A and B are shown apart, each in its own frame.
Chain A
Amino acid sequence: MSDTFSRGDVERVARLARLDLSTEEKDLFARQLAGILAYAEQIQRVPTEGVEPTSHAGDAAAMRDDVVIPSLPREDSLASAPDADRAAGLFKVPRVLG
């Protein structure tokens, strides 16, 4: 397992997470995440062969009948959008295709 975390690692992961980081943040996070991962390394010492993973603490997600119920009105859903065409009922984003 890697026990160092480089600035290149930070840049690679930041691209996956769609985060613009400053040079200072990249250096800071590389240093701090190396420390956090070194600390997290202790879980590797725990024998877990054959142990089922726990994905959440409650019982399995409850099932319910597939019944249509009222949802938020469209205008309310669009009300907080930074940019929207409210008459057409659309969220707007910068141009995707040239």
Chain B
Amino acid sequence: MDTPIDAHAIRDGVANRRFSATDVCRTTLDRIAALNPALNAFRAVAADTALARAAEIDARPDAAGRPLLGVPIALKDNLCTKGMTTTASSRILEGYTPPYDATVVTRLEAAGAIVIGKTNCDEFAMGSSTENSAFGPTRNPWATDRTPGGSSGGSAAAVAAGMVPLALGSDTGGSIRQPAALCGVVGFKPSYGRVSRYGLLAFASSLDQIDPLATSVRDAALVMHVIAGHDGCDSTSANTPVPDFERTLEESRDLAGVRIGVPRHLFREGVDAEVMAAFDAAIEVTRAQGAEIVDVVLEHSPEAIPVYYVIATAEASANLARYDGVRYGNRADATTLGDMYDRTRGGGFGREVKRRIILGTYVLSAGYYDAYYRKAQQVRTLIRRDYDRALASVDVVAMPTSPTAAFALGERTDDPVQMYLSDVFTVGANLAGLPAVSVPCGLTRARLPIGLQFTGRAMEDATVLRVADGYERATTWSKERPPHLTSETLR
């Protein structure tokens, strides 16, 4: 049967018994089985447990307190799932089964969501193309010779291809927003501290957040409603009230009175002409919706990428020290403890992870700490102040999410700096801890999606979602689907 891909419609349909959670689950599993060989979006599919959960829900389809009743969701493979393998797409964790669920997983299941499986990503979320997975790249559903972006590329491709209505990813420097842009879906990075990181395999702890991917801002807000909030298991989790994200969207349907800042000085070079044209058109849409457009300056944004790569790799080198072959994961044969560490890590990690551990260890080592790490932390302060100053006079800052549309597989793998520049517009929100969303805003002539990013004040996640929703209501870009994956061509 044909079931909807909209989370609200699935929830309502299951609650009203227009269709069953089992029907939805079977359609989802069939579509994954049909498309995954071509896309490699999923690392693992939990068909039996998902169908068992669906049967439980069908026995008592009560939506009270369960706003995601019967809605299938995919999880990036760096989120711990009790009894389900969790590898972060790394050989060093191949076959690892965590003894506990991430807090977000517990909350999703309590809200009636059905975890369908785990999605492919760059190893330990390190990358911008999903090509750093130890288990092969994910392909972009819009053009299978192109990357879906990364590192949450499997999650973004799964939603874009209609395999699942919702997915979670993680965003350390753009890892949810850039793949959302390249795959034509919505990706929302919450304020730092808004969502518990307990059970997320850590990459860079001062930057990581867990985030929803969906086909609409409204669905992303629904997931936020479920996963946001304080958690005693994460000491950086914010103990502040969570707003009713969905109600915020209902309160205002246009953008009257909203002030949008545009840092034009950042767009002088390196932004693809078609991306720039789509961005300019999107800004005109917001103006027609009543928004006031204001020029803003983010003086230190050109330094955001090098600051990010110093800080993120330094934190990663410490976080990944735990993968030593002792408590979990795989262990290499060796007769001494030192050799066991060296061979386990040398053989278990892929190239990008090793490159970043070397860089991170170097910038923290004696003689280089002040010149690189401390200096980067100081420039991080200046980047935060730039955003604070801009956001004192505007409600959100608008930028293209990615300077280009989806790039070809293999195009940037030999040039790390070129790959890192994919995140030039996204890393600022992580460094400053701000909420940011990517929403579809166009297609290139080759029919590749383009994303529009709004960044807002810390803990004003609802404002960012409301502005993105207002834009989305005025356009149809979020409804565009990959042309060769419609139900007709699949038959």
- Partner-B contacts on A (CB < 8 A): 1, 9-10, 13-14, 16-21, 25, 28-29, 32-33, 35-37, 39-44, 46, 48, 51-59, 61-62, 64, 72, 76-77, 79-83, 91, 93-96
Contacts and interface: CB of A to CB of B under 8 A. Distances in A.
B96 interface: yes
Given A32-B416, A58-B238, A53 B378 contact: yes
Given A18-B342, A62-B235, A72 B100 contact: yes
B331 A13 contact: no
Contact of B378 (A29, A51, A82, A91): A51
B347 to A, nearest CB: 7
Contacts of B310: 40, 43
A20 B332 CA distance: 11
Contacts of B237: 62
Contacts of A82: 325-326, 328-331
Given A43-B306, A64-B232, A33 B359 contact: yes
Interface residues of B, number: 76
Contact of A43 (B235, B349, B376): B376
A44 B375 contact: yes
Contact of A46 (B303, B328, B374, B433): B303
A53 B377 contact: yes
A55 B206 contact: yes
Interface in B379-400: 379-382, 384
28 contacts: A13-B361, A17-B361, A18-B324, A19-B349, A19-B357, A19-B358, A20-B347, A29-B355, A32-B416, A40-B306, A41-B306, A42-B306, A43-B303, A44-B371, A51-B381, A54-B380, A54-B381, A54-B384, A55-B206, A58-B238, A61-B235, A64-B232, A72-B99, A79-B99, A80-B99, A82-B330, A93-B337, A95-B337
B433 A43 contact: no
A48 B361 CA distance: 23
A14 B357 CA distance: 8
B355 A53 contact: no
B232 A14 contact: no
B340 A40 contact: no
A34 B357 CA distance: 15
B354 interface: yes
Contacts of A91: 326-327
